[in-house]
Amino acid sequence: MIHFTIEDQNGGQQPIEIPEGISLSLMEVLKASEYPILATCGGMALCATCHVAVLEGAARLPPVNDAEGDLLDTLPDADSDSRLACQLRVDESLDGAVFRLRAA
């Protein structure tokens, strides 16, 4: 199982447990878990409505790809800990990570 934690906009934290080998993005897991993620573009890194901050575990995540980096560069509230949940596949790199929802 892959375990990670989601912190909502109010600071509440919820642990998430996902079976290994599932072919979903973090954005899809957040939507299925009924977090307020719009995911307007459907995971194509075009809208940033799945913007998250990586509070723990950033070093284990894959590097930011060009499309994600280009979009994050346009966000006024993006920081060095910013990622798009649609670009993060649920795999062992997410195990133990903590994410804060940034998109409203």
> Average pLDDT, stretch 74-102?
95
Per the structure, the complete domain to which residue 67 belongs is given by 2-101
pLDDT in tens, 54-72: 999 999 999 999 999 999 9
**Which residue reads 């560069």 in tokens?**
73
Whichever domain contains 43, its CATH number is 3.10.20.30
DSSP 59-104: GGSPPPPHHHHHHHTT-TT--TTEEEGGG-BSSGGGTT-EEEE---
Q: Based on the structure, what is the number of domains in the chain?
A: 1
pLDDT in tens, 12-66: 999 999 999 888 999 999 999 999 888 888 778 888 899 999 999 999 999 999 9
pTM: 0.92
